[in-house]
A and B are shown apart, each in its own frame.
Chain A
Amino acid sequence: MTNTTKIQETKTDTDMRRIVIDPVTRVEGHGKVTILLDNEGAVKQARLHIVEFRGFERFIQGRLLWEVPVIVQRLCGICPVSHHLGAAKAMDMIVGADELTPTAEKMRRLMHYGQIVQSHATHFFYLASPDLLFGFDAPMQKRNAGGVVMEHPDMAHRGVRLRKYGQKIIETTAGKRIHGTGAIPGGINKNLTPVERDRLLADADQAIKDACDALEFIKKYMEKHQDDAEALGAFTSNRLCILDSDGAMDLYDGTLRAVDRQDKIIFENEPVVNYLQHVAEEVRNWTYMKFPFIRQLGPKEGWYSVGSLPRVTACDYIDTPLAEKARREMIEALGGKASGLTMAYHWARIIEIIHGAEKIKLLLQDPDLLRNELVVKGKRKDEGISVIEAPRGTLFHHYRVDRNDQVSMANIIVSTTQNNEPMNRAVEYVARRYLQGTEITESMLNHIEAAIRAYDPCLSCATHAVGHMPLSVSLCNEQGDIIDRKNRAYFNSQQCII
């Protein structure tokens, strides 16, 4: 077989070997991995870099507040609903809508659970499942969704159905499958008609069944591949998520809980308006993606992870029966190790698809969705802060507006950014585990990509603001001291091409 991934290898100035995986594939967005090996072939440094820049926080300034939910969802075409609702919730606060009508809140929740099902299904079936079905040594030509269609049609159909169901929910509540306009400051712009409800309800049980079938698959996989799973990343981390007032998983709204590596509470029941007291983002020179940390633990120790696995392991329970049963099974099967296994992210993701599908069915049976009270407003404020659990994890939106309703300040902390440190640790972990010796094979590098993929990083999200985050390698000597880093003259227009 020809070397289809072209293992790119160069010498650095320090004589270390530099291996590049560029681009990281089957993730959303642009990412690149660089690995430095010393003369004995030992891994000296392994990094994930992301390579794009948007500038949302700056160019959203001056836009009218009602435009924001429509513009910022263009951060991400996979989870636009998360940004759409995140921005709408922050704008609710600004227009004084302290409590939405039941119809508005439930329509938004329905949209959000549709998003969870769709995004998780896209990731699991279209992007990640080829690794699990074919293994890391499979030929590149087969290791993709096309290969799954050809050789595992049941799995492919299940994935297509689940993804389509999520998209239909979104289309019905938001007006479009991608970049809809359903949520507006203070509420929602449409309710559900009985015809729409019946059409969606007709497929709800199939969605739950498809998700439960996927659960059986991932359970068997994890049981059969315990060693593999450990080799793809086994390290504990602090975790952050939102929960309802009873400690149950709530993906649409709630208060913040952070737990440490031993599952001890760092803080909980924290309203999101206090988020700046708890979370900060460090800037490092070698990547455009920032490194969020929990303030009270500091920038060194405070890194944390977000997303399906932290949510499933840090909540007290899930309030739908099939998902809760699945959560207990996972905790029992993996024990205390659950929260530290990178590959368990997939398992947790399937549990959340079940939860999303169960919630969708419950909501569709709720007569509130057919009522007409759609929008409320109250005392106008000039600042709004929101949090929501996007498919990839906790997502913060924060805006100030001036008296002309124009945005004067915006801050968005996206889910994938919060997984920056964990993903980099996973890359280093897997590189040290697999890249020993002098010959580097495609299979070795596949393991690294699979570990990144388990986090379902959305690199287009993560670049919203943060500058493009291409990857980068600083040149280090064997002591790890940076010996060369040229400043690229971003600010010198003469240096930019075109």
Chain B
Amino acid sequence: MSDPSSLPIQEPLADSVPSRKRLFREVRERFIEVILLLAAFSAVATTVAVMLVLITESAHFFEQVPILTFLTGTKWTPLFEDPEYGILPLVSGTLVTTAVALSVAVPFGTIAALYLSEFCPPWLREITKPCLELLSGIPTVVYGYFALLAVTPMLQYLYAFVGEPLHRWSPGIFPEELGGFNMLSAGLVMGIMILPFVSSVSEDAMRAVPVGLREGSYAMGATRFQTAWSVVFPAAFSGISAAYILGISRAVGETMIVAVAAGLQPNLTWNPTDSAATITAYIVQVSLGDIPHGTLEYQTIFAAGLMLVMMTLVFNIAGHFLSKRYREVY
């Protein structure tokens, strides 16, 4: 029934119901998108907050201690009567434990990755890869316990055979016996911890090498080892080096293993058989005491933290660029 008078009323009604619904839907969609964006922005906020906290807290520190003294001083005794604020002993401890860890993780991690990607039958890889990942899932304080109470005694036992002649040969480098706290055992255990990380990232890089390259090598009569070593490894090298650098930044930031097994005595030494404190171990040591807010010793941990962030940042950026480069190769 067409009633002309009803038309002007019905028309807007029929139109407005879906449009109001559409408006509601549009508003809801926008709202959700904004919430999601805010959540994603939390990553940026965290970075900004980290830098803000570290810089503002250590700014007070650097008002009282010149940056040059901090960077070049060879004594770190902020908790003593006569405090000295030279970060070098902590840096040397950090670098030595990192170097020991890398001397395990880099060669062994690379060989494990080459084996997994070039030699290993797929079913075995399917089993061993996740098992290796379990190694990096172990809490680091457990690794610290293991380093202090299992690996150090084992090293001391081994050292008993070689230590004496080595000590006679060069007493400056080799002590008579291995101390209970030493960077060697902490570094070795740390190396085992980051080994799966290095091997898994480098294996990904090796797998990204096109099969054509391998087939070409095999067609020339190369063995698996020749293919792996002279074709796959160089082709994947920028990716592999990114894995190394990420491994370095992980070793530099590692805390509990060194805090438990390497000792807490800041010691400017490059000898892994010595005990020494790392940057992270120092932060832990100070935090364990009740530090009053606003004192200079409270601010030292932020200054040390800033140093640590700077070191890892350099490695992370280098790793980022290296991994970006290798992605563009193929």
Same complex: no
A residues near B (Cβ < 8 Å) are none
